[in-house]
A = this chain, B = another copy of it.
Amino acid sequence: MKSLTALIALFFFATQVYAQISEEDLTQYVNPFIGTQEMGHVFPGACVPFGMVQLSPDTDTVPYAVDGQYTGTVYRYCAGYQYNDPTIVGFSHTHFSGTGHSDLGDFLIMPTVGDLKLNPGTAEKPESGYRSRYSHEREKAEPGYYCVQLDDYDIKAEMTTSSHVGFHQYTFPETKDAHIILDMNHGIYNYDGKVLWSYIRVENDTLVTGYRITSGWARTNYLYFAMVFSKPIKNYGGKNFEDLVYKGFWRKFDQENNFPEMAGKNLKAHFDFETQPDEQIKIKFALSAVSTEGALKNLKAEVPHFDFGKVKAEAKNRWQQELSKIKIAASPEKKVTFYTSMYHTCINPIEYMDVDGQYRGLDHAIHKADGFVNYSIFSLWDTYRALHPLLTLIQPKRTSDMINSMLAHYNQSVHHVLPVWSHFGNENWCMIGYHAVPVIADAWMNGIRGFDVNHALDACVSSATYKKYGNLDDYMKFGYVPFDKNVNGSSMTLEYAYDDWTIAQLAKSIGEKDVAGTFETRSKNWKNLFNEKTGFVGAKDSRGNWKTPFDALHTANEGFIEGNAWNYSLYVPHDVSGLIEKMGGNNRFCEHLDSLFTMYLPDKYFAETEDVTREGLIGCYVHGNEPSHHVAYMYNWAGKPWKTQERVNQIVNTMYLNKPDGLCGNDDCGQMSAWYIFSSLGFYPVCPGSGEYVVGSPSVNKAEIQLADGKKIVVTSEKLSAKNIYIQSVILNGKEWNKTFIPIKEIINGGSIQFKMGAKPNKKWGITEESRPFSMKR
C-alpha cells in the first residue's frame, strides 16, 4: 500500500511539476553538444542569439580538395567540430549551424606553450603542430560560453561573445614561451588558393588589426578584424608560407620578426608572452565585413572593458530572453531537447552589419542598413518551411528585418533576384527554388508589415522569372523543368509551383490580380509532372516523354534531389487535396503515406540519401532531409488525423535525442529544430503562406508563446503522457474546435489552444471534409 501511495504521490507530483510554467533559467536546458557528432553539423562554441561572431573549436583541417580531388571527409566538418575527434586545432570566429555544405572558420586562434609551431599538425600526431588533445570531461558548453582544457599545453581555454566580439580567456601555466597563434589560412571547406589575400597590422603592443578575403562557397568574402590583448605582446612574428614569384622591395625587411605589417595568401602569425602560474591572457576579437575601423567600432560599442564574466553574463541573459519566447511545462528531459532546439533556431541568420549599420553587400560595396538590422545566412531551401514561420510568430521584428535584408540583397543583385542561399554578402546559389518568396508571403499573410510590400512583390516576380536561374526559362516554356535540361527538374518544378502559389497569395492580398492570376496558373505546374500511370511525380523530358525506367526509390538521376519520388511526390503543400485526387483518393493516399513510413529502404537507395543517418529514416521517410518535413501532417487531409498524431509523436520522440549524435540529419540553420518546436507545440506550418497551421500531436504539457506587444498564445495539453498521444478534442480560444488546422489569424494577436489527449485515437475528431486544411483553398 505504501508503495502505491508513494507512486500516486509521485504521479501527482510529476503531473503538477510538468503542468506548470515556472520562471527559471532556461539556458540550463540547452545542450550545445546535441548534434555535434556525425550529421547534425552544429557547433558547440559560444555565440549570442543571431550574433555575427560564432566562436567555436575546430577539430580538424580537412581541405575541400587535395590535388583537385574532393576529399569527401570535409563534409563532416561543416561546423568545424566533430564530437569524436581527439584534438582541437583552435578556435575560429565564424561558423554555420547545421549546414550540409560549408565555408567560414575565419581567424583561428590557438594558445600554445613551448616550441613555436605554425602548422596545425595532424590528429594522429598532435605534437607535429599547434593543435592539442582534449577530453570531453574537461569541456563545457552552454549558451554564450564554451570552455575546454587543452591537455597538451595545460591551458584552460574559455570563450564567450557579444554579437561582433569573440572574447577569449586563456589561463596559462607558468612559462616563458606562451604563444597565441593566429592562423589566417585556416578555414572550413578550405583548399589551396581559397584565401585570396590576408593582411595583419600590429598597431601597437596590444592592438592588432587585419582582414582576409576568401573565395569559397561565398565566392568573394571580405572579413576584417580588430584584436586586443589584455597584456602587451612581448614578441611577435608571422610567416607567409607562399612560394613568392615576386617579392617587391618588401624583401628588404625581415618580415617574420616583429614586423608590423604582414600580408600574403598563406599567412600565420604568433604573439608571444611570458606568463606567471595561472595567469590569464584575454583577447577581444571583433569582426566586421566592412573594415578594420568597423571592427574597432564594434569592439568599442560592445565590449569596452576586459571583464570576461560580464560579457558571459550578458550573453546568457540574451539567450534567456530568446529562449523565453516560448515557455513550456514539460519534463526536464523534454526541456533539454526543446530548448536546445530553440537555441538552434536562434543562431542563423546572423546580424550581418556593424554597430553603425554598415555592411558589405552583394556587389562587394559598402551599404548602410537604413531603418533595419541587416541579416545574412539564409539557407532558404531549408528554412522557409518552419524556421521562418517560427520567427514570423515569435520574432516579428527580426522577421521584418530579415525581409528587408532580402530586399536589400535583391536591390544589390545584378541578377535582380532575392536570396537563394546567401551568406556574408554573397549568393552561393545552393539548392533549388526561390524560397525567399514564401518567407515574404508567409510573413505578409501573418501580419508582418515592416517592409514595402509592393517592392517585395516586384522582387518575388523578378526572382520567379529570371531565366538564367534554375532552368526558369524551361519552366516557363514547358510548364515544368525537363529532365534532360536539369537532372533535378522534378524537384524544381514542385517547389516552383509551391513558390508560385505563395506569390499569388501575396499578390491577391494587395489587389494585384494580374500577377495573382499568372502565378495561380503557374502553381498548377506540379500536375504536369504527375504521372497517373505510376501514381508518382515523375521526370519528363523536353519532348514530353516520361523518363523510363522509373524507380520511385531512386533519388539520383530520377529528377529529384534530397528525396526520391516516394517522398517528393508528396510535395504539393498548396494543393494537398488536388494531390490526393491525383493519387487516387483518400485511401490510396493513406496507403502511400503508410508505405512510406513502413517500408524498408534497401541500402543501395539509402546510399543516395544525403546528409542523414540510418536512424534518420522511418521506413523510407527521411526526416533528416527537408522535402518530407510536412509529410507526417498529410493524413489530416485524408481524414485520418490520428495517423498524423502517431507519426509526429514518433518523430518527435526518436529523431531529437539528448546526445551528441542526437540529431538524425543536418540541423540546416535551425529548420530541423523549428520542426521540432512546432511539432512539440501540436501544430506545424505545412504550407507557409496559407495562413494556417496544421494540427499534429503536442508533446509539451503547456506552452506560452510570446508574441509582439506582450500578447501570447497559451497551449495546454491535458492528460498528455507517453501513451496519451492522441487528440481527443481541441478548444480554440475557448470554443470547441473540430478542424485539423488552426487559422493563424485566430491566434496571432493572442489566444489559447487546449488539447485534450488520450491513449486511443479519437477517430471522430477532425475527419470531416470541412475539418481539413486549408481554408484558403476552399
Chain A residues within CB distance 8 Å of chain B? 64-65, 68, 189, 191-194, 196-197, 199, 201-203, 209, 211, 213, 215-217, 219-220, 243, 245-246, 248-250, 252-253, 259-261, 263, 265, 291-293, 363-366, 414-415, 421, 428-430, 468, 470
**B-chain residues with CB within 8 Å of residue A415 when the two chains form the complex:** 260-261
A196–B194 touching, CB < 8 Å: no
Write the chain B residue with the least CB distance to A64: B246
A253–B468 touching, CB < 8 Å: yes
Write the chain B residue with the least CB distance to A247: B219
CA–CA, A216 to B263, complex, Å? 12
17 contacts between A and B (CB under 8 A): A65-B246, A68-B245, A189-B246, A196-B196, A197-B220, A202-B414, A203-B414, A217-B249, A219-B250, A249-B421, A249-B429, A252-B470, A253-B429, A253-B468, A261-B414, A291-B365, A293-B365
Write the chain B residue with the least CB distance to A420: B249
Output the least CB separation between A155 and chain B (Å): 29
Known contacts A246-B191, A468-B253: A414-B260 contact under CB 8 Å: yes
Output the least CB separation between A612 and chain B (Å): 21
Chain A interface main SS type = loop
Q: Which 7 A-B pairs have the closest CB atoms?
A: A249-B429, A201-B414, A260-B414, A191-B245, A249-B430, A196-B196, A65-B245
CA–CA, A202 to B363, complex, Å? 11
**B-chain residues with CB within 8 Å of residue A243 when the two chains form the complex:** 68
CA–CA, A243 to B192, complex, Å? 12
Known contacts A245-B191, A259-B468, A292-B363: A197-B213 contact under CB 8 Å: yes
Write the chain B residue with the least CB distance to A362: B261
Known contacts A217-B248, A429-B252: A363-B201 contact under CB 8 Å: yes
Partner of A365, one of B193, B249, B292, B430: B292
**B-chain residues with CB within 8 Å of residue A202 when the two chains form the complex:** 414
Output the least CB separation between A459 and chain B (Å): 17
Partner of A220, one of B199, B216, B219, B252: B199
B414–A248 touching, CB < 8 Å: no
A291–B65 touching, CB < 8 Å: no
CA–CA, A292 to B199, complex, Å? 23
Known contacts A250-B429, A414-B202: A263-B220 contact under CB 8 Å: yes
**B-chain residues with CB within 8 Å of residue A219 when the two chains form the complex:** 248, 250, 263
CA–CA, A252 to B470, complex, Å? 8
CA–CA, A250 to B101, complex, Å? 14
Output the least CB separation between A102 and chain B (Å): 11
Number of copies: 2
Output the least CB separation between A696 and chain B (Å): 33
Output the least CB separation between A267 and chain B (Å): 12
CA–CA, A468 to B259, complex, Å? 8
CA–CA, A260 to B211, complex, Å? 28
A366–B65 touching, CB < 8 Å: no
B213–A248 touching, CB < 8 Å: no
Write the chain B residue with the least CB distance to A471: B252
**B-chain residues with CB within 8 Å of residue A203 when the two chains form the complex:** 414
Write the chain B residue with the least CB distance to A66: B245
**B-chain residues with CB within 8 Å of residue A291 when the two chains form the complex:** 365-366
A213–B211 touching, CB < 8 Å: no
Known contacts A201-B414, A252-B429, A468-B253: A245-B193 contact under CB 8 Å: yes
Output the least CB separation between A496 and chain B (Å): 15
Other than the known A191-B245, A249-B421, what 4 A-B pairs have Cβ atoms closer than 8 Å?
A209-B363, A216-B248, A217-B249, A249-B429
Output the least CB separation between A699 and chain B (Å): 37
Output the least CB separation between A417 and chain B (Å): 11
**B-chain residues with CB within 8 Å of residue A216 when the two chains form the complex:** 246, 248
- Which of A203, A246, A292, A421 has the most chain B CB atoms inside 10 A of its CB? A246
**B-chain residues with CB within 8 Å of residue A252 when the two chains form the complex:** 429, 470
**B-chain residues with CB within 8 Å of residue A428 when the two chains form the complex:** 248-249
CA–CA, A567 to B705, complex, Å? 87
**B-chain residues with CB within 8 Å of residue A430 when the two chains form the complex:** 249
**B-chain residues with CB within 8 Å of residue A193 when the two chains form the complex:** 245
Write the chain B residue with the least CB distance to A200: B414
**B-chain residues with CB within 8 Å of residue A263 when the two chains form the complex:** 215, 219-220
Partner of A364, one of B199, B217, B248, B363: B199
Write the chain B residue with the least CB distance to A365: B291
Known contacts A291-B365, A365-B291, A429-B252: A196-B213 contact under CB 8 Å: yes
**B-chain residues with CB within 8 Å of residue A260 when the two chains form the complex:** 414-415
**B-chain residues with CB within 8 Å of residue A414 when the two chains form the complex:** 201-203, 260-261
CA–CA, A95 to B243, complex, Å? 28
Write the chain B residue with the least CB distance to A291: B365
CA–CA, A366 to B291, complex, Å? 8
**B-chain residues with CB within 8 Å of residue A64 when the two chains form the complex:** 245-246
**B-chain residues with CB within 8 Å of residue A246 when the two chains form the complex:** 64-65, 189, 191, 194, 215-216
Output the least CB separation between A587 and chain B (Å): 41
**B-chain residues with CB within 8 Å of residue A211 when the two chains form the complex:** 364
- Which of A209, A366, A468 has the most chain B CB atoms inside 10 A of its CB? A468
**B-chain residues with CB within 8 Å of residue A366 when the two chains form the complex:** 291, 366
Output the least CB separation between A260 and chain B (Å): 5
CA–CA, A430 to B203, complex, Å? 23
- Which of A216, A243, A245, A429 has the most chain B CB atoms inside 10 A of its CB? A245
CA–CA, A428 to B253, complex, Å? 12
- Which of A253, A363, A428 has the most chain B CB atoms inside 10 A of its CB? A363
**B-chain residues with CB within 8 Å of residue A191 when the two chains form the complex:** 245-246
Output the least CB separation between A765 and chain B (Å): 45
CA–CA, A216 to B213, complex, Å? 17
Output the least CB separation between A295 and chain B (Å): 11
